[in-house]
Amino acid sequence: MRTMTTASGPQPDSGPGYGATMWLFGPEQGLPEGSYAAQGSRGQYVMVIPSRHLVVIRRGEDPGSARFDIARFAADVAGALT
C-alpha cells in the first residue's frame, strides 16, 4: 500500500498526482493529505481517506468528455460525517 500511494514519476502541475496505480489527493483538492483513489475509465471511483477511516465508492458512467468530480464529492461526504 505504501508503494501504491507514494508519488511516482513526473507529477502533473495541477489536479491529483499519481502513485503506482493510484491517483493521489490531498489539501489541494479539498481532501486530507494521504487520500487516494482508483479510477475507472468511465466514471467508476474508489476514493480512500485513511485519516477519516472512509471509503467512498461511485459506480456510474460519465458520457463523452463529462467527468464526475470525485474529489469534491468525497470532500462533501467527509464533511457531512463530522
CB 5 within 8 A of CB 22: yes
| pLDDT tens digits in sequence order for the chain, 82 residues long | 888 888 888 888 888 888 887 899 999 999 999 999 998 878 899 999 999 999 999 998 888 788 899 999 999 999 999 7
- Find the radius of gyration of the CA atoms of the chain: 12
pLDDT at 46: 95
Return d(Cα 27, Cα 52) in angstroms, integer: 14
CB 52 within 8 A of CB 30: no
